[in-house]
Amino acid sequence: MEKVDRLYHLVWMSRPLMQVAELAVEQGLEGSGLTVRMRAVLEVLRENGALPVPEIARHLQIQRQYVQVMVNETLAEGLTEQRPNPRHKRSPLLALTDKGQALIEGAVARERVLLEAIGDGFEEQEIATALDVVRRLTERLMGKTGGET
């Protein structure tokens, strides 16, 4: 198989991979009260601290307006709270509440258990190489398509 064919298959396999990954995440959230969308916002805040909506959108690489809908869900459930943003008065910072922090930590812990189970048989170097290839391929495709969504 040629390099171009392998790249083609790699790109197109990303869709079923993301679909089954989202299903696994969704199943792991059962009973928690979290949706996949809410979990995405909480994870960005867990990793980066308090951020305004436009920054969350950049991390998720989706439109700000859609992220605002997601953020509104987390606010309504008491998982996040708004704080003043010293850099921008009209764009408050969004921060995890204790409830939000506990829920995202629990979700990530369950996902790590799943990843340990499915990661059996993969060498650490294989995973590092795959991650590097996907990152570089994403960057190159973003450069060819005009950047972020």
Average the pLDDT over 22-45 and give the result: 94
Tens of pLDDT along 38-96?
999 999 999 999 999 999 999 999 999 999 999 999 999 999 999 999 988 889 999 99
Q: Exposure of 51 by Cβ count < 10 A (0-12 exposed, 13-18 middle, 19+ buried)?
A: buried
DSSP per-residue string spanning 19-34: HHHHHHHHHHTTTTT-
Q: Which fold has domain 3-118?
A: Arc Repressor Mutant, subunit A (1.10.10)
* Angle, helices 53-60/64-76, rounded to nearest 10 degrees: 110
Q: Which residues are CB-neighbours of 106 under 8 A, at least 6 positions away?
A: 32
Question: Where are the chain's structural domains?
Answer: 3-118
pTM flag (> 0.75): yes
Query: Would you state the structure tokens that stand for residue 137, as one six-digit string?
Result: 């391929």
